[in-house]
Amino acid sequence: TSLTSVSLRRCIAITDAGLATLAPLHHLSELCIAGTRLTGATLPLLSPRITALDASGCGALTDTQLAAVVAALPRLSRLRLEG
């Protein structure tokens, strides 16, 4: 698929395993997981083409997981973290 942007904003029922189903979206460049309960454990499995990530309000996302996400997304140019 050529899907480039996905917003899961406030989808509190989404799990890390559910997020992993986005891994085949090789053209994904923008992802919003703001307000979810995701831990970030599966974010490094997603497309390395992601340039924008909004993880505002993701209280379960740890410093270690955030570091792994940044390392796994070499094209990341916009990161939003609030709350």
pLDDT at residue 83, rounded to an integer: 83
Phi, psi of 17 (to 5 degrees): -65, -40
Of 26, 82, 25, residue with least CA distance to 54: 82
pTM: 0.92
User: Could you read off the pLDDT of 25-83 as tens digits, one per residue?
Assistant: 999 999 999 999 998 888 888 989 999 999 999 988 889 988 998 999 999 999 999 98
The reported pLDDT for the residue numbered 14 is 95
Q: Return d(Cα 26, Cα 38) in angstroms, integer.
A: 21
Is the model's pLDDT at 1 over the cut of 80? no
